Structure 1
Amino acid sequence: MSIRVEHLGFSYGNREILHDLSFEVPDGCLVNVLGPNGVGKSTLFRCILGLNQRYSGRILVNGKDVRELSIRQRAREISYIPQTHAPVYDYEVLDVVLMATGSSMKVLWNPGCEQRKRAYEALERVGIEQFAHRLYTRLSGGEQQLVLIARALAQDARTIVMDEPTSALDYGNTVRVLSRIRQLAREGLSIVQSTHNPDHAFLYADKTLVLRSGGLEAYGDPREVVTSDLVSRIYGVDVEVSSLYGDKVRVCVPVHEITACGRENRGSERT
């Protein structure tokens, strides 16, 4: 198992955020985490990454207890792509990726080092090797997100955690980034990412984990887990899950919008 969470609990002071949370992420699996704002998704990720260590329960990453790993050891097991990233300096894309390959800045000016080769390979895996010598700050949001994915790959960890990787992207870049993430899972990486869009779970995820009030509401195959009742319950919006193309695709549609469109169409017919 890539990640095993056993009876996880976490509180900020007297405010409980997560309680008795248990689940497993198999190797080579893409897991989407769903849940409303404030439910504990980012807190869960910080616990898995070892950034929050005052939790109860146990977290194993690739069979190793996160609490027992040094920062360097954790970096070998798991990488992280945050929701937002604000670059400060005009580094080239290759240099941004290289920063994940070692603790010494010598890798930035050593053209023959192994880390540099690994960085180029990571850029190739996400299909942006042509951007290697472009300035990171001059790229679009979607291109920057692919660079961050390449940086996570160059870190050479088997497991990647992504906090809403497409939250600021347009539709085209969202599709490109999620398609690339799914392909990386097919290549054997274990990836856990949060999203607010249930349709992403249907289109891309192997498993969906649903949080509600800091606890595990559901976990499993998206087609079995992401139901009309569940989405309505956790987000407070009445929805209908519809099947398309012989059930190859499913989508969530707000019921209110369906009925509103029906009323509008009937009104236009009368006039």
Structure 2
Amino acid sequence: MKFATILDGDRHRFGLVDGDALHLAPAGETLRDHLAGDLAALAQRLRGLPATPLEGVTWAPVVPDPAQILCVGLNYKDHREETRSVTGGAYPEHPIIFTRFATTLAAHGETLPIPRVSEVVDYEAELAVIIGKGGRYIAQADAMDHVAGYAPFNDISMRDWQMKADQWAPGKNFPKSAPLGPMMVTPDEVGDIGSAGIRLILDGEVMQESWLSYLIFDIPTLISYISQFLELRPGDVIATGTPGGVGFVRKPPVLLAPGKTCVVEIDGVGRLENTFAAD
């Protein structure tokens, strides 16, 4: 099953994606309202509602209002190696977790701003895990039962602001720096997420390419670990980290700039595309 959220005037509407059509839920319902429930029953109900063509819709972040966005740093070995000169090569035994605010989210197809105060704007292709059933102290063996679905995510990073101090938050929380979507795909449709490829394409050139099986801390580990220190809630987003190939460590650096087009592709999950313009 695939679900999407669009803009209908000045309000969000979500629906079930069915081929080239979208069966919209009644106004006032949100995808987050249903993520802890029976998504198959939800899909069956939505199929009975009128459909609108996907062509020409204005996309919104698939979950536009998550209570919590948890991001994982340095979660691929090749990304750790390429950034060793910056990090010093000292890595903790546990996942590196930082947070984003929902105000940073952006949509598929949206033109995103290059901030006037940053000279090092970088891309990061990532898989976003969207939480369905919430919980605390979740065991790794039970963690996948808490996953509602997956979506592409681009953890756009202002590296000069990220590196100003030990905390990464300033470089990770500029407005419209976290496109998410266009759809959430349920685990039953994706199958073995570990076998999925992930890549980032900048102006037609592949800059990042890896597989989800290369995550240092896999999805069950991340869900269990995060749930030890906070309560996960339906609609929470966990961005699982980016593989090697980021732009700021390349020689010469390859950075985002006005006029460029960036695509995140994840096999079986979707294709997230954005262009950039001056702020």
**Superposition TM-score, scaled by structure 2 size:** 0.25
Structure with more of its chain in helix, by fraction: 1
**Which structure has the larger Rg over C-alpha atoms?**
1
Structure with more of its chain in strand, by fraction: 2
Greater length-normalized contact order (CA 8 Å, ≥ 6 residues apart) = 2
